[in-house]
Amino acid sequence: ELSTGIERALAAPMTRLVSLRPSPLRLTRHLSSQPSLRLARCFSTQPSIAPVDNSVTPAEIRASADRMLDYYCALQRPDGGLDGLDDASHYCKLPNALVWGGRPAQADAMLDFCVSRFLRPNGDFTNEPAPSHYAPAQKSLHWEFNDFYAYLNQWWITAGVRLSRNDFVGRAFEYVDRHWYNAATHAGILQEPLDMRYENCIFTSAHLGFTMLHVGEHERARLIGDTIVKMVAKQPHMHSPALTYYNRFDDNFALLTSFSPDDPGVKLAAIVDGTKPDQCWWSLGYPVAFLAHLHSRTGEPSYLQTAEAILEFVGRCHEDSRSSIIAHKIMWGASLVGNLTGKPAYWELVRSIAGHIIRVGQAEDGRVLHWGWERGTPYGEAQVVDQTCEIAYWFYVVARQMEKAQAGGRYS
């Protein structure tokens, strides 16, 4: 059973002392002159905790998400923007969360603001007018979004599809399709666009494939799914004691297993070392979720099998993968696979992550504050907004998946 590793891991003791542990991750981008160099520390540190009660229900998950949205909706102006928040990254996840949270009018007004403030004639979204189709200096103060350049764009495309925003969705998708889809590998790319120095990426491919499903590009979504299946099958250390997962690959479908220290790119999510805490667990969750959706669309068994293979890897990774704020995409993916298969281990994984976020991560005001965010800086505030609103979105989806599985006898 693929779920055996997850069941074993969730049954293991998880008692830890409260402390702040240093991150094993290194920011390998050559940015010594930029203040964001120090931000890898806050991105990848969090307090260790004692065990918490993770027996969450759909109602509790949904109520937690409502509190997250309540905080930011109280800041919304008539023009759709938020008081005190004027960076593109502040709005990345919130429109989709508002749609799923039953607040479509607020979501639509927010997209009005985003289109007016950030959309450029070429279909890109940037803080300031851009000199070309690739303008990281103008993109956002959130430095990860400058490397995962088209990531933010696609969040607004999918929200726009849900709200029939044909005033911008077409232009925005054409920009992403032209510059950030590699037809040679059927993959999403990052770091730089197709005419520059880029890397293929499993995580980025999943995000692009999910966008393709939204805009009706089903055949290309399947091609991207096939690439992900191929690259997960090529992983050499998912089942070995090394427990390592590689996200990046070249145009010959060779996994990139190491990088030079002066490589000009953010490599926090390029390699996941499952033996250690503080990894970019979210990079594993998106391909799980996308492949689950693609299986639902096509019925192709390999998509579901690959999604389960990734979850099985998570089950053998460090316990932090099941008790971390940034494992939220794993929670999302596990809920979709749980609803498809009915396997108890996936629901245990969902409850473990959701319970940790609610009992440990969420503050009284509704935001997800109790993690290693940098305090008192614009970037730190952007992280809080970004992660709180993304978790709200996933919480609404997860609660609904749980309810559907309960009604269908696939929940335990």
- Tell me if 325 sits within 8 A of 371, measured CB to CB: yes
Other CB atoms within 10 Å distance of the CB of residue 314:
25
Query: Which tens digit of pLDDT belongs to each residue from 125-170?
Result: 999 999 999 999 999 999 889 889 999 999 999 999 999 999 999 9
325's tokens: 């704020």
User: From CA 148, how far away is CA 190, in angstroms rounded?
Assistant: 5
User: From CA 405, how far away is CA 57, in angstroms rounded?
Assistant: 13
User: From CA 248, how far away is CA 246, in angstroms rounded?
Assistant: 6
pLDDT band at 376 (very low <50, low <70, confident <90, very high): confident
Q: What distance lies between CA 385 and its chain's CA centroid?
A: 14
Average pLDDT rounded to a whole number, residues 173-178? 98
Per residue, what are the HEC states of 233-245?
HCCCCCCCCCCEE
User: From CA 47, how far away is CA 316, in angstroms rounded?
Assistant: 22
Whether 38 shows a pLDDT value over 70: the answer reads: no
Q: What is the model's pLDDT at position 49? A: 36
Sign of CA dihedral 73, 78, 81, 84: negative
Rounded to 10 deg, the angle between the 282-298 and 301-316 helix axes is 160
Nearest to residue 61, comparing CAs of 406, 401, 408, 407?
401
Q: What are phi and psi of 70, to 5 degrees?
A: -55, -40
Q: What is the model's pLDDT at position 6? A: 59
User: From CA 154, how far away is CA 146, in angstroms rounded?
Assistant: 14
Q: What is the model's pLDDT at position 177? A: 98
Nearest to residue 225, comparing CAs of 177, 166, 288, 171?
288
Whether 12 shows a pLDDT value over 70: the answer reads: no
Which ranges of 44-102 would DSSP assign to H, the alpha helix? 58-73, 94-100
**Which H/E stretch holds residue 174?**
helix 169-180
At position 365, the amino acid (one-letter code) is D
Query: Which tens digit of pLDDT belongs to each residue from 52-107?
Result: 566 899 999 999 999 999 999 999 999 999 999 999 999 999 999 999 999 999 99
158 vs 151, 210, 236, 260, CA distance in Å?
A: 11, 9, 34, 35
